[in-house]
Amino acid sequence: MDVNARLQKLTRLGFAVRGLLYIVIALLIITTGRAEDPSGALQYLGQGGGKLLLIVMTAGLLAYSLWRLSDAAFDIERHGLDRKGVMQRIGAAASGVVHLVLSWQAIRLIQGVASAGDGTREGARTALHLPAGGALVVAGGVILLIAGVVQLVDAARARFLRHLERHVARQPWALWSGRAGYAARGCVFSISGFFLLLAGLDEQASEAGGTAQALTWLDNPFDIVVASGLLAFGVFGLIEARYRVLQDVPAEQLLQRAKSRR
């Protein structure tokens, strides 16, 4: 099996891990009222499944982040060089970084070190200590708001189907799990972006918040509605793990290039 085939298998594992994290987030809020973000869901699974599960999830998250970052760097999904394509590659880079951080948190959990606090809030606190920190946090909020709108547009236009194998893309269960999932993520991203925008304008990191804070902010029954959408997104992640069309990452060329520089 060549490098690309191995990486694709691990990337599919990464889609499955991402789907599982969203399923856990959704089930926790629906069944217990406990709001978590992907980091909290990872910690919850680690407590229940032990180190072996965390090792498997870490491998998947690392491969997924590498695939996303490779897409940003080499345009392996063929987004193009127009404004829309550039924005999609920036989104891929952001997703790669987020899942790389999740991978690091999983490694820390394997080492017995639990992550503490909300990642979005901690990031805002760090940024506010930098020169023009408030502007940086505001910019982050605007980006999250735009990402939320993009997710809602994806839900309406069902653009996510173009990445699936054709026979699956025609199935109603693929369409509606994706639509519900992207709509819910769009709501969560938009709320988180609004929180981050306020945190930047007021220069108060405590006002920032991610998925967990967005779900906590929503009143019943809206939190259950959005959580049900996140459950659908988790299911869609499992569908992508099996049926997404993955383009090759130029892994062998990169390895050869790295060897030639030694």
Inside any domain, residue 249: no
Which of 115, 147, 175 is the last residue in one of the domains?
A: 115
Q: Which residues, other chains included, contact 83 with Cβ-Cβ below 8 Å and sequence gap of 6+? A: none
Taking a C-beta distance cutoff of 8 angstroms, is the pair 169, 161 a contact? yes
* Pair 109, 131 in one domain: no
CA separation for the pair 118, 162 (Å, rounded): 34
Backbone angles phi, psi at 164, to 5 degrees: -95, 160
What does the pLDDT read at residue 114?
Answer: 66
Inside any domain, residue 186: yes
* Pair 98, 180 in one domain: no
* Pair 219, 131 in one domain: yes
Domain that holds residue 38: 1-115
Residue 83 reports pLDDT greater than 60: yes
CA separation for the pair 8, 54 (Å, rounded): 20
Number of domains in the chain: 2
Inside any domain, residue 33: yes
What does the pLDDT read at residue 131?
Answer: 78
Inside any domain, residue 258: no
- Tokens representing residue 200 in the block: 């930047």
* Pair 86, 102 in one domain: yes
**Among 212, 209, 183, which residue's Cα sits nearest to residue 198?**
209
* Pair 14, 99 in one domain: yes
CA separation for the pair 35, 76 (Å, rounded): 35
Q: Which residues, other chains included, contact 209 with Cβ-Cβ below 8 Å and sequence gap of 6+? A: 118, 120, 121, 192, 195, 196, 216, 217
Inside any domain, residue 257: no
CA separation for the pair 163, 244 (Å, rounded): 6
Residue 118 reports pLDDT greater than 70: no
Least confident interval from 25-34, 110-119, 154-163, 177-186: 110-119
* Pair 41, 147 in one domain: no
What does the pLDDT read at residue 259?
Answer: 58
* Pair 158, 229 in one domain: yes
What does the pLDDT read at residue 252?
Answer: 59
What does the pLDDT read at residue 202?
Answer: 78
* Pair 103, 80 in one domain: yes
Residue 216 reports pLDDT greater than 70: yes
* Pair 121, 210 in one domain: yes
Query: pLDDT-based confidence at 6, cuts 50/70/90?
Result: confident
Residue 235 reports pLDDT greater than 80: yes
**Type and span of the H or E element at 126:** helix 119-128
Inside any domain, residue 254: no
**Type and span of the H or E element at 257:** helix 251-260
